[in-house]
Amino acid sequence: MTSKANRPCVQKLRCLLSVAVGILCAQSLAFRNVDSAAFDSFANLTAKGLDSIAQFGPAGSIALAACLGALFYRIYPNFKRVGKRNQLISVILSFFLALSIVVPRLMKLPNVSFNSFPNYVGGVPKWHKPIFWMVASIQLLTIGFTLAVIICWLMRKAADLVECRNTGEVSTAIPPTNLSIWERGVRFFDGKPMHMTVATLAMVLCWLPMLVIQGPAIIGVDSMVQLVQFRTGHVWDPMTMAELPGYVGQDHHPFFDTYLYGLFDELGLWLGQEVLGFRILIVLQSIVAALAIVVSLIWIKKRTNLPDSCICACWCLAAILPAFPMYMSIVLKDSTWVSIFLLWMVAFFEVIYRCNNNHAIGWRLVLCLVVLGLFSGLTKKLGIYVTTVSLLLAIIVIRKQFAAFLISMLVPAALVIGFVPMVVLPALDIAPGGPQETISVPIQQLSKVAILHQDELSKSDRQAIDRVLDIDHLKPYWQADSADYAKHYGYRLNASSSDRKNFILTWIRLFFRYPKDYIAAVPYLINPFVYGETYYYSGPVRCGWWEAGGSRILTEYPECGLSYTQGKIAIPLTNALNKTPPFSFIGSEALYTVWLPMLALGLTISIRRYRNLCYLIPTVVSWCSLFLLPAHQVRYTLSFLFVFALTIALPFAEVLTKERNISN
């Protein structure tokens, strides 16, 4: 124990250490431009470092350093109090989280720049320069050290919450007149219909200004394909550009969404103003999204011991963060799907909660999982695979309630994967989607190997590749930032299922011969896991496929043109949010795809609630699904943003004793 005489010295050392860490961490966050001449000499390094800090602004740099130093000073004592075990956990977590900030400097992507502050520009790393490794090490150590201290502080807070609930120190008899603002606010998440309605409508009202600014609607390329096919009957495969005569639509994009968007388009025409139909759709999907977020907060209030202040803060974040209404203003399958998936996640969490507490699942909950799983698969094809695999893993891990899990898993999968393509699509004269979509990553990787090592491949390997891909044709068009080019220019339409099977077997076998080329072929797969892109987005009212009939959709708006509010407010606002801390951080994709799940994992292990790790199953499955996508777009990780509150509450889900009952 430190004596009283030595305490001033210890405090001075802590103060100096905090100042040093704050300055180093601020410089580490501000420094960038790894593709420049910064690492040629210490003089260039100093000059480029000062330039980076100057771009942030001297006042901003000083403020960032002071805030980080003060934060470090306040919470550093917690690092010693959590014990060796939790210190090790925090160090491991902080290392991976720090990598998500440092790695963008090391990426070899000459033509790609991230949009958010500190606006790291990818380039060719100077691996041979010792200065390069020195800077990378300093960045990793300073950021990681600061994060480790913060994580230890979070561990102390989490342990205090759990201990307080276990010892029954939570007061439940507070007079209504003495309720705090948080206790008053959290009453809106008690599950009562009136309170649920108020919380939902209040969130939509908070979103309304952004919905107006983004208005009247944002219709991207994918949705334009669906609207053109629904309106004109001109059907083609948007990936291979092959005409599909005799069909009224194609399932490349989910047919359910096509009919949904088409019906609202027709509604607008019937009302005398086409855009009015899309405005109604945007309002409705905003209401459903807000309701889904409120339902998740209700579950958190009832099933976890997360503090009332945190629950209210989650509602405030969802209501105020522009990213939520920005994506609700888009006519897009991801925006339509994410609310359904969030509700499915709440139902999944309830199933895990009941299993962990030895309580029957009940047929209503099973029916809820079946219906939500079905619509999740109908609105986004990847959704059915995430829900099905998650339930399968839950059966393996939990080994309880087999009948309920099997019904929840098999019924939606059988309907979406079996009944729809074999019965529904033929009955509606809808062409199935191209089979190349499911093997996008193998196509991208094998095409690169075939281009670079064609002479080294065996005759059988070349034949297996050639039956699926036209390497000579796609070679000039191949690009590392997306597999769409390889699919578009290389995939052979006459490839059979047997050809694709042999192609996949060849892909698996050649991985062990060319692992570096496989990794180099898909550099975009790392993007969701590093600090760069944000969820702030705006775009034109309609864009794409004018030559195929797209000019007939919303004729009053120019091709790829912005509305007045989009051009004057939305685009400048998006650029400002991307480059202004802390908005660039709280809107960052990596915060929701990596930071929150990793912190939830670490806190769960720290407080020894190992059963709660089962709640992470859909997150892990969603992580794995990101490695199968043909390209990186922020909308592909939209589910991580919307389930943020459930992720935060995951370590605090209660594991009840036998004496306590579960309320319905």
Burial label, 36 (beta-carbon count in 10 A; 0-12, 13-18, 19+):
middle
Question: CA dist 270 to 511, 553, 579, Å?
Answer: 55, 14, 43
Q: Residues 367-382: what's their mean pLDDT?
A: 96
Residue 172, pLDDT > 60, answer no
Give burial (CB, 10 Å; 0-12/13-18/19+) of 285. buried
Q: φ, ψ for residue 655 (rounded to 5)? A: -115, 105
Question: What own/partner pairs with CB < 8 Å and gap ≥ 24 does 496-502 have?
Answer: 497/435, 499/464, 499/467, 499/468, 500/435, 500/439, 500/468, 502/464, 502/467
Mean pLDDT of the region 133-152: 83
| pLDDT tens digit sequence for 56-94 | 566 666 776 777 777 777 777 777 778 888 889 999 999
- Which residue pairs, CB below 8 angstroms and at least 24 apart, start in 164-173? 164/305, 165/305, 165/654, 170/305
Segment 247-259 mean pLDDT: 93
Ranges of each domain in the chain: 18-166, 192-433+531-565+580-602+609-652, 435-527
Distance set, CA 361 to CA 295, 351, 357, 388 (Å) = 18, 6, 11, 18
Least confident interval from 117-121, 346-350, 457-461, 559-563:
117-121
Residue 580, SS3? coil
Beta-carbon contacts of 662 under 8 Å, excluding residues fewer than 6 positions away, are: 353, 354, 357, 359, 656
Q: Give percent of the chain with pLDDT exceeding 70.
A: 83
> Could you give the 3-state DSSP secondary structure of residue 273?
coil
How much helix, strand and coil, in percent to the nearest 5, is found in the chain?
Answer: 70, 5, 25
**Quick count: other Cβ atoms within 10 Å of Cβ 568?**
12
What are the helix and strand counts (H, E) for the chain? 32, 4
**41 C-beta neighbours (distance < 10 Å), count:** 12
Per-residue pLDDT averaged across 604-627, rounded? 93
Place of tokens 């047929």: 363
- Assess contact for 357 and 655: CB atoms under 8 A: yes
The tally of CA atoms less than 13 A away on the side-chain side of residue 640 is 28
Instruction: Answer yes or no: is pLDDT of 372 > 80.
Output: yes
Between CA 353 and CA 361 the distance in angstroms is: 9
The residue-averaged pLDDT of 191-205 equals: 95
Give the lowest-confidence range in 10-24, 260-274, 314-328, 492-506: 10-24
Per-residue buried b or exposed e for 171-200, using 16+ beta carbons within 10 Å of the residue's own CB: eeeeeeeeeeeeeebbebbeeeeebbeebb
Q: How far is CA 35 from the centre of its chain?
A: 28
Task: Output DSSP code: residue 567.
Answer: I
- pLDDT score recorded for residue 87: 87
